[in-house]
């Protein structure tokens, strides 16, 4: 049985975990805001440069060449922004997952301690019920491990797909730019 001190310690641990998760989430938001400010500043500067360059063209051919020369760097910057955004989200998600997995392992350990304590204090003749409880706990732990592994594999596949799409988008833009210049 849990006493008052154990309950208070468990509640304190949960509050600490909540604040730890909140802190990690805010760090991710801060990184996202910093990235967007950096992109906005660079975008304003580039827009001014592009406007000046557009005003200095002498004919339609030169304007088309200027536009074609701006297309590829814009696509590469968009791809870089996507990568940075994904890295922020993935990093924040990894930190949250790490904290959650640690808390889950701790909870499982505490639960097993309660089960073991109950087993030691179980009345004679309850061996079958105790075995059933231990079997159910082991099955639940195995199922949780399987789900965790599947989630990690899905995340790895999603990351690989994101990188492939990002790379192919940049290559397609480079090909279109090369074709437009001809």
Q: Where does the pLDDT of residue 16 fall: very low under 50, low under 70, confident under 90, or very high at 90 and above?
A: confident
**Secondary structure in 3-state letters for the chain:** CCCHHHHHHHHHHHHHHHHHHHHHHHHHHHHHHHHHHHHHHHHHHHHHHHHHHHHCCCCHHHHHHHHHHHHHHHHHHHHHHHHHHHHHHHHHHHHHHHHHHHHHHHHHHHHHHHHHHHHHCCCCCCHHHHHHHHHHHHHHHHHHHHHHHHHHHHHHHHHHHHHHHHHHHHHHHHHHHHHHHC
Mean of pLDDT over the chain: 81
Give the Cα separation of 154 and 158 in Å (integer). Answer: 6
Contacts of 93 (CB under 8 A, 6+ apart): 155
- Residue 147: the pLDDT is 75
Give this prediction's pTM: 0.62
Top-confidence residue, 107 or 75: 75
Cβ density class 52-78: b for 16+ within 10 Å, e for less: eeeeeeeeeeeeeeeebebebeebeee
pLDDT band at 42 (very low <50, low <70, confident <90, very high): very high
């Amino acid at each position: 049985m849990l006493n008052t001190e154990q309950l208070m310690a468990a509640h304190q641990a949960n509050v600490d975990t909540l604040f730890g998760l909140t802190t990690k989430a805010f760090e991710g938001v801060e990184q996202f805001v910093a990235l967007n400010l950096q992109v906005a500043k660079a975008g304003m500067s580039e827009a001014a440069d592009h406007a000046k360059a557009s005003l200095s063209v002498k004919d339609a051919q030169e304007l088309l060449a200027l536009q074609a020369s701006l297309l590829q760097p814009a696509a590469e910057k968009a791809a870089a922004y996507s990568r940075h955004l994904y890295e922020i989200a993935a990093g924040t998600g990894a930190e949250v997952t790490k904290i959650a997995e640690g808390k889950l392992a701790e909870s499982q350990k505490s639960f097993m301690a309660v089960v073991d304590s109950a087993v030691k204090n179980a009345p004679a003749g309850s061996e079958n019920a105790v075995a059933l409880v231990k079997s159910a706990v082991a099955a639940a732990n195995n199922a949780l491990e399987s789900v965790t592994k599947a989630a990690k594999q899905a995340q790895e596949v999603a990351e690989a797909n994101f990188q492939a799409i990002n790379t192919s988008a940049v290559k397609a833009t480079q090909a279109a730019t090369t074709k437009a210049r001809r």
